[in-house]
Amino acid sequence: MQGEAEVYEDAIEVSQMEAKLVEKEAMVLKKEAELTQKAAGVAQKDGQLMRTQAKLTEDQAELRRRSELVDTGMILTAEQLQSLRTAQKEVKDLEIARDTTLAVHDTKIADLESRLRLYREEREETVKQYEAARESLVAGVIMEQ
């Protein structure tokens, strides 16, 4: 009987070991299930992250496009301002040239008016001398008669 008891003890020990092994397998399976759930959660979050990154990339592309439009607008505005400044400078230069030309013409007109006055005075003097000479000649002819 002792042999049977030893066999039963061995069987009980084996059964206990099998029970412990089954418990350990159950814990391993439970941990595997938890890891699988965590992996699924990580995969889900990874998917969300990928969608968020894709959206961010789209938003960055849109932001760059808008920034380029703003930059283009600023460049156009800067070019238009430069064109306006150039036109204003040209107008100012033309006004200065006009004023200078008018001043030169005014000087020429004043000079011509001065010459005309001198010529008129000389002519009046010449006319007076001519009339005096004529009167003198007429008087001389009258006296001779």
Tokens representing 25 are 């397998």
- In sign, the C-alpha dihedral spanning 133, 135, 136, 137 is positive
- Among 106, 84, 83, 102, smallest CA distance to 94 is for 102
- 145: which DSSP letter? -
In the predicted structure, residue 2 carries a pLDDT above the cut 90 = no
Task: Give me the mean pLDDT over the 8-28 stretch.
Answer: 87
At residue 5 the predicted structure's pLDDT band, cuts being 50, 70 and 90, is confident
**Whether pTM exceeds 0.85:** no
In the predicted structure, residue 1 carries a pLDDT above the cut 70 = no
Instruction: Specify the pLDDT at position 109.
Output: 92
Q: What percent of the chain has pLDDT over 90?
A: 39
- In sign, the C-alpha dihedral spanning 47, 52, 54, 55 is positive
Q: What percent of the chain has pLDDT over 70?
A: 97
